[in-house]
Structure 1
Amino acid sequence: MCIISLAWQAHPNWKLIAIGNRDEMHGRPAQPLDRWTDHDHMLAGRDVQAGGTWLGVSEQGRFAVVTNVSSQDSPDRNRASRGDLLRDFLSGDGRCSKLDAVSFSDFNPFNLITIENDVAIVHSNRPDSISRSLAPGIHGLSNGPLEKPWEKAKHLDAALERWLESHEADPTSLLDVLTNQSPYPLKGEAQTDLPTQFEPQSSGIFIKNPVYGTRCSTIVAIDHQGRGSITERRYAASAEVNGESRLSFSWPA
């Protein structure tokens, strides 16, 4: 995912609402949201190239989502895939299943949010490796460092907050919020400090581009009784919708 807004323990009806877009090369193959046959408690899309995922949930009470952190340097293809962190954490199996034993420096720059046993933690490895708990509230991440959230992440947080205040019952209406292509131009000196990247800091919440753009939008909703749903809407390189999946799951109450 390249932008995510997450409401954690922030509403009397909802334990978790997470909304976000995955931005990626359109030519990189991916399998749509589904239960994984090798771990049927796990619900996520799958990156065919590296075998991991970008966002998912487990009926064992785990949630994870990752964003890359943009920089002027190209990703080091010799490093492990960031999707491995999520696959192993969500499945509970593999060398990355216990994140406190993982060397984050082995991976290209990332921000990662995990939830397990009703504890939410945000991890990052740039500029330094950190893991710190997330208090109840609304939290947003895009491709910037934790301490400097991009403007579009702030706007997505605000849109999620308005939805929560409306007490609307169906979270899939938030898919419309994720189609916002309005740019967020930088001002002053920040304009001269843009890294070379496919997702510039001034880009919209939804990126329409035939080479690199928004591949899917995802909504995760879990109420306080442990009833959950995950919805994925997929997009072609033209930005037209080309598929949608919605799955229900149970979360430990």
Structure 2
Amino acid sequence: MCVAAFAWQAHPKWLLVAIGNRDEFHERPAAALAEWDNGILAGRDLKSGGTWLGVSHAGRFALVTNLRGHGVADPDRASRGSLVTDLLTGQGRYSDPITAPLQEFNPFNLLLADGAQAHFLTNRPDDLRTGLAHGIYGLSNGTLDEPWPKTLQLKSALLSWLNRSSDDFEPLFSALRNEHLADVGVPPREPSDVPREAPETPVFIRDRIYGTRCSIVVAIDRDGRGTIIERRFSAESGSTGETTLAFQWPD
């Protein structure tokens, strides 16, 4: 997941709204959004077995992004997707956000929320685990709320949608499909660790080798009723499918 906007307790109706694009090599195998046997609702990375964004019937939401500027990932470190899956289920070595050994992973940013609170976690330059106040946040492959143009662009789109108080998710998907570089914000200070990726990219990356693989919208109201929607794309950026799942968080 390379760009996301996250609204936490920022609207009378919605407890949480998250929108984001996963950018990845098209050749990396992945399974579509589905309900797993352990109660997770997410897409699945078939190479490492974890996920990049999901919710769970246990009442948790999590998403992870790589953190740019620290060099090529070490393949011997634990998969960042396993951190997400453990946090979503509340089981496993990395299930406790307070004690999870974050240095076992390559550099990452992570957003985590349940029905009562939200947190931001990162492991570079040092471990940071902090609670989030209500508001709208943006996250890409820099630090939390670093004002990259595409991050500001997506945050603005989410704010506009919330102001309309609509249940129509199409404007959010339109924002996730935006291929134009924004004219506000500060460009990334560090080049991408993916040589194929340009130094600065739009919200939606059209590239046959490394580009946007899917767009996701998650919306959970204050009664715990939620929807997660995934739209998937081919190497040519054409639609390859859409999945919608409804869920209910516990009280």
Return 5+ residue gaps in structure 2 as ranges: none
What secondary structure is seen at the aligned counterpart in 2 of 1:146?
coil
Change (3 A) 1:106 1:221: same
Q: CA separation in 1, counterparts of 2:188 and 2:35?
A: 43
| Stretches (4+) displaced over 6 A | 185-188
Conserved? CA contact 2:147–2:185, under 8 Å: no
Cα deviation, residue 252, structure 1: 2.7
Aligned residue type for 2:171: S
Moved more, 198-207 or 213-222: 198-207
- Provide Cα deviations, 1:35-57, integer angstroms capped at 9, x if missing partner: 002x1x21011111101000000
Moved more, 56-65 or 100-109: 100-109
Give 1:77's aligned residue: 75
Give 2:15's aligned residue: 15
Q: CA separation in 1, counterparts of 2:145 and 2:212?
A: 24
Give 2:33's aligned residue: 33
Percent identical = 46
Conserved? CA contact 1:184–1:203, under 8 Å: no
Give 1:140's aligned residue: 138
Give 1:92's aligned residue: 90
Conserved? CA contact 1:3–1:142, under 8 Å: yes
Conserved? CA contact 1:172–1:219, under 8 Å: no
TM-score, reference length from structure 1 = 0.92
Q: CA separation in 1, counterparts of 2:59 and 2:184?
A: 39
Aligned residue type for 1:123: L
Give 2:6's aligned residue: 6
Give 1:163's aligned residue: 161
- Provide Cα deviations, 1:212-234, integer angstroms capped at 9, x if missing partner: 11000000011112111000000
Cα deviation, residue 116, structure 1: 2.7
Q: CA separation in 2, counterparts of 1:72 and 1:128?
A: 13
Change (3 A) 1:44 1:34: same
- Provide Cα deviations, 1:39-98, integer angstroms capped at 9, x if missing partner: 1x2101111110100000012210000010112611111111100101111122211111
Aligned residue type for 1:34: A
Change (3 A) 1:3 1:147: closer
Conserved? CA contact 1:217–1:232, under 8 Å: yes
Cα deviation, residue 194, structure 1: 3.1
What secondary structure is seen at the aligned counterpart in 2 of 1:28?
coil
Conserved? CA contact 1:232–1:246, under 8 Å: yes
Q: CA separation in 2, counterparts of 1:175 and 1:199?
A: 22
1:179 maps onto 2:177 in alignment? yes
Change (3 A) 1:52 1:199: same
Query: How many residue pairs get matched?
Result: 250
RMSD: 2.0
Aligned residue type for 1:115: A
Q: CA separation in 2, counterparts of 1:108 and 1:95?
A: 16
